[in-house]
Amino acid sequence: MAHSASINPDVTQSECEVISKRKVGAYHHLTLAAPAIAEHAKPGNFLAISIGDMKSSMLLRRSFAIYQTVPRGPFGGTVEIIVAPHGPGSTWITQRAPHEKLDVVGPLGNAFKIPKDPVRALLVGGGYGSAPLFALAETLRQKNSRVEMAIGAATADRIFAPVEGKRSVHSLMIATEDGSSGAKGRVTDLFDNSLSAIDIVYACGPMGMLRALTEIGARAGVLVQCAVEESMACGVGLCMTCVLPVQDKDGVIKMLRSCIEGPIFDGSAVQWDAIGTIPPGTYGAHR
């Protein structure tokens, strides 16, 4: 199978000291000393973090979106992540204390594409999926774009919207499924499942949300850049665990690696119905 993309050229593997850790609602906010990663990371990139010590049975790295980077400072440069304790690997990370070290590979993956001219952008985050959108908002605002953000989650403690992040957007809408914060319902209900006065949508969150936003964007003729969260094993392009069917500009469906060609894809190119399968006619697939 031919692949045009290769691993992020700025990637490094390093032992990163945990500088701080604090609880934010249902999540844990970790700051890591990671000068090389902080220098090169772009909004949308992610990290792959090793779990446990040399004797650990958890062999696979776990992936986390980069929330913020500070390229300089007392620690030479820091990277921040927002972790939801989910299974054993993510829970282990949330149990690390300051001064402990993590084995980190990053920055990985592609980045959100930034239009050259100012745009009216809508950024949509589901749960911790809002984390990488705040750095994106900053970048867009530096280009004089108007940035609206909408965040949805099941409950209020799963809405990640830090005070400093709110300053980087022109407006912030919140929806929770139980109504404990903002409007009651799904994040897509906030704009009545339609888009007006928006040039581009950036989205990060569960696959169902990304798919719904892609459909809304298609009806409005608006491009939706989706940061997908496909299960990953190696995180560096070798194992093909993270592939999903994506149509290229010639209409050919290819199984692309979300850790290398992604995690950010044009939502209209992703074959959402066929995720988890190899659709008939896929390039390179055997009959």
Interface residues with ligand FES (CB under 6 A) are 232-235, 237-242, 257, 259
Is 122 one of the binding residues for ligand FAD (CB under 6 A)? no
Cβ atoms 122, 148 nearer than 8 A? yes
| Cβ atoms within 10 Å, residue 142 | 10
Among 12, 13, 14, 90, indicate the residue that binds ligand FAD (CB under 6 A). 90
Provide the 3-class DSSP secondary structure of residue 81.
strand
Residue ranges of the alpha helices (H) in 97-166?
Answer: 131-142, 163-166
- Contact stretch for ligand FAD (CB under 6 A) within 16-24, 63-71, 180-188, 246-254: 63-71
Nearest to 172 by CA among 154, 159, 155: 159
Nearest to 2 by CA among 219, 260, 207: 260
Structure tokens at 132: 């990488």
Q: Min. distance of Cβ 208 from ligand FAD in angstroms?
A: 13
Which one, 183 or 207, has the nearer CB to ligand FES? 207
Is 245 one of the binding residues for ligand FAD (CB under 6 A)? no
Task: Tell me which residues in 11-50 interact with ligand FAD (CB under 6 A).
Answer: 46
Is 229 one of the binding residues for ligand FAD (CB under 6 A)? yes
CA 174-175-176 angle, to 5 degrees, is: 130
Is 9 one of the binding residues for ligand FAD (CB under 6 A)? no
Q: In the complex, which residues of this chain contact ligand FAD (CB under 6 A)?
A: 46, 60, 62-65, 81-84, 86-91, 128, 131, 229-233, 263
